[in-house]
A and B are shown apart, each in its own frame.
Chain A
C-alpha cells in the first residue's frame, strides 16, 4: 500500500466531529487545487507555519472588493494553489436556502473553483475558497446571471447580516431580515466600491439575546427591544411553576430585582418601569412571557476587534427607534455617520476609534443627537471637561 502523503492531517479524519480533512479529500478527487491545498496544509502542520504569500489584489470589473487574493509561497511544490483566491458571495438574509439555490452555487463553483467553501464566513458571506485570477470574472458573471452578487471586503460597507428574526422566533421585536435585506440593497454602491477610511459593518439582532452578536461584531449594531410592559399569561406562569423554581431561577436572577413571586398564589409580578429588558425571564418562560407590544430597536455604535486601540463593544447611541419600512431614520443616520467619518477618520481608523479620539460630545453634536444618561455606564470621574465657547460668556478680545 502506498504511503499517505498527509499522515498528520489523516489523524484529523478520526473522531466523531465532522472532519474538514474528509471534505478536502472529497474535493481533491475532482480538483487539483484542493489536492494541493491539502498537501500544502500538511506542510504547514509539519513545519508549524503558514505557507501563503502576503496579500494579493485581484477582483472583478466594476467592483473594488469581494475577492481576497491569495498566492502560495511554495508554487514549486504546490502548483495547484499558486493562485488560490477567495470569492465572498452575499448570502440570502438569515442564511435560508432552497436546495435549488445551493445546487446552483455548487455547480458554478465546481466549474470555476476548487470545490471548497465556508458555510459561512464570520461576517455572513458564502465563502468560495480557491480559484485562479482568470476564473474570477467568468465565475462572477455566471453567479450574477443566477441572482447572486458579491459580498464586501476592504475599506467598504461589509456584508450586513441578521439573526433568524420573525422567520422563526417569537421574541423578534422588528423584522431583522427585512431591515438587513433592505439596507444591503440600498447601499450596494458603498458595499461594492470601497471609499472609506476603513471597514464598516452593520448587524441586526431582533432582541437583546443578540444571536448575530451585533453588539460586538458590528460598527452599527441594531438590537431589537420594546418600551411598554412585558406581556404575561398568568395561566402559563402557573404551568411553569411545577417545572421551574421561579423564585430562584427567575426572580433572584433578574438584574434589576424588579420581579416578585407569590409562591402561595402562584402569582408573578413585574415592575416594568424598573425592567432593563435583559430577556432572562422571557428566555426561561417563553410560553408565559413575551416582549411588549411597542417594539423597536436600540441603536449602538463602535463595536470592533482589538486592532488598533483595543477591542470595543458597541455603546448606546439611540435608546429606542421604530424600525419600519423603508427604515429611513436608520439609513439617514448611517449616511450622516459615514459622511462625518469619511471626512474626519484617519486611514484605517474604525468609527469607534474616531469617536473615542475626538470625544462623544463632538460626535453627538455633529449627529444632532442630544446627550442622555442611557448612553453611559457612569458619568466621568475626572474634572477635565470642555465647554463650547457659546456656553461661557467670553472675555472681550483685546485688539
Chain B
C-alpha cells in the first residue's frame, strides 16, 4: 500500500462551475434561509443549498446525500466547517425540485445569515474516555428546541453554539456566542496500587495546572491536595489510575460572548454564565431551557449586527446577569493566573436587581 500520499487533489472534487470560476467570484446573495447564490465575474451563477446534519452519521446516510447530489447536482457536494452539508447547483431550474426533495426527506435547510447554524461538537459518551457529559444528545435536544432559528434569519446577528464534553475543549467552545461545556466537580479517585505500574509519575504531576499533585514516596504513586484540585481531569488524561467521572458530580456549564471573526470587534473568549447544570439524559431539559433563555434575551436586547459578546459589552455584565436572571456566584469570579485583569478597577458600573 502507498504511504504519505496525503489527501486526494481537491481539484478532482470541484464541480465544473467552480473549477471554471475559481477565484473569479464577484458577489453573493442569500436568496432565502439556507440558499446562497454566488455570481461570477463572467456571469455564471452557483446556487448552494445548506442542510443541517447530525455529524455522527452512518454510511447509508452519506449514500443518501450522494443520491440527492447525483439527482440534482451532477454528483458534487461539500461539507462546511460547521458540519453542514452543501448541495452545489449550476442550474436554477433544479433549485425548487431539490428543496422539495429535501423537505420530503425531512432535512432542515438553513444555517445562513443571522441564524443559529449547526452546533460544533465532540465525541461524548459515544467514543471518548474523558467526557463529563454526552455530545450528540445535548446537541440534538438543543437543536430540536432552537430549530426555528436554523431555518430562519431573525436574530440580530450570527449566533454560534458549540459543545465540548470536557474542558479539553476540542472544537469551538472557548470562542462561541454560547458554549456548552462538560465539567467535573469531584477530585480523581486515586488508586496508588496502579499508579506506579501504569503511569509515568513526573508527567502526571506536570499535568496539573494548579500544582495539586506531588509524588508519594511511600507508594511510589502520587498524593493529591484535594483543596487545590479544580477537577480539570488532565491528570486522568495522563494516568489511567486517576479516574474522576461521576454521575452526580459531572454536568454542564454554560459560557457566552466568544467570537472568532474580526468584524467590528476582535476575536474574544467565551465567559462563564452558568457554572453547573446536572446531566439529565436523554433531553437535558435544564440545559435546553438555559440556552433558550440566553438566546431570547439576546434576541430582545441586541442591536442589529451585534454578536452576543458585543451586546454584553455594551450593556455590561451586571446588566447581562439581571436580564437573563442568571444567579451570579463566586464561581464567576476568576481565580486562576490572570484573574486580576478581570476585576472591575473602575467606579463605572450600573446598579441592578
Contacts and interface: CB of A to CB of B under 8 A. Distances in A.
Interface in A107-142: 109-110, 115-120, 122, 129-130, 140-141
B351 interface: no
Contact of A96 (B14, B83, B246): B14
Contact of B267 (A24, A216, A307): A216
A168 B267 contact: no
Nearest to A125: B7
A296 to B, nearest CB: 15
A381 B58 CA distance: 55
A215 B267 contact: yes
B77 interface: yes
A34 B59 CA distance: 12
B304 A106 contact: no
B282 A55 contact: no
Interface in A51-110: 51-55, 62-63, 68, 70, 84, 86, 90-103, 105-106, 109-110
Nearest to B119: A17
Interface residues of A, number: 121
A14 B137 CA distance: 12
Nearest to A117: B57
Nearest to A308: B209
A306 B174 contact: yes
Contact of A110 (B59, B66, B264, B338): B59
Given A18-B53, A45-B137, A97-B78, A287 B337 contact: no
A119 B203 contact: no
A149 interface: yes
B76 A18 contact: no
Interface string B58-93: 111111011001100001111111010100100000
Contact of B206 (A90, A110, A168, A348): A348
Nearest to B57: A23
A180 B134 CA distance: 32
B293 interface: no
A378 B80 CA distance: 36
A47 B134 CA distance: 12
Contact of B247 (A48, A84, A348): A48
Contacts of A246: none
B55 A118 contact: yes
A17 B78 contact: no
Interface residues of B, number: 114
A216 B10 contact: no
B33 interface: no
Contact of B10 (A86, A93, A255): A93
B204 to A, nearest CB: 11
A52 B261 contact: no
Nearest to B135: A20
Interface string A161-194: 1011011111010010100010011001100100
Contacts of B279: 48
A358 interface: no
B interface secondary structure, majority: loop
A147 B53 contact: no
B66 A103 contact: yes
A149 B7 contact: yes
A54 B174 contact: no
A149 B129 contact: no
A374 interface: no
Contacts of B122: 122
Contacts of A26: 58, 60-61
Interface in B2-61: 2-10, 12-14, 18, 22-23, 25-29, 38, 46, 48, 52-61
Interface stretch (A206-214, A265-273, A320-328, A391-399): A206-214
A305 B108 contact: no
B222 to A, nearest CB: 16
A344 interface: no
Given A70-B129, A166-B22, A307 B209 contact: yes
Contacts of B263: 208-209, 278-280, 283
A35 to B, nearest CB: 12
B22 A167 contact: yes
Interface stretch (A5-13, A330-338, A364-372): A5-13
A49 interface: yes
Nearest to A11: B282
Given A27-B60, A47-B247, A110-B59, 14 more contacts: A17-B144, A18-B52, A20-B55, A23-B54, A23-B56, A44-B134, A54-B240, A106-B63, A119-B62, A119-B79, A149-B5, A170-B25, A192-B3, A311-B174
Interface of B: 1-10, 12-14, 18, 22-23, 25-29, 38, 46, 48, 52-63, 65-66, 69-70, 75-81, 83, 85, 88, 106-108, 120, 122, 124-131, 134, 136-137, 140-141, 143-144, 147, 150, 167-175, 203, 206-207, 209, 232, 234, 236-237, 240, 243, 245-247, 250, 260-269, 279, 281-283, 304-305, 336-338
6 contacts: A21-B140, A101-B8, A144-B5, A215-B260, A249-B304, A310-B337
Interface of A: 8-9, 11-12, 14-21, 23-24, 26-27, 34, 37, 41, 44-55, 62-63, 68, 70, 84, 86, 90-103, 105-106, 109-110, 115-120, 122, 129-130, 140-141, 144-145, 147-149, 161, 163-164, 166-170, 172, 175, 177, 181, 184-185, 188-189, 192, 208-213, 215-217, 249, 253-255, 276-280, 283-284, 286-287, 305-311, 313, 346-348
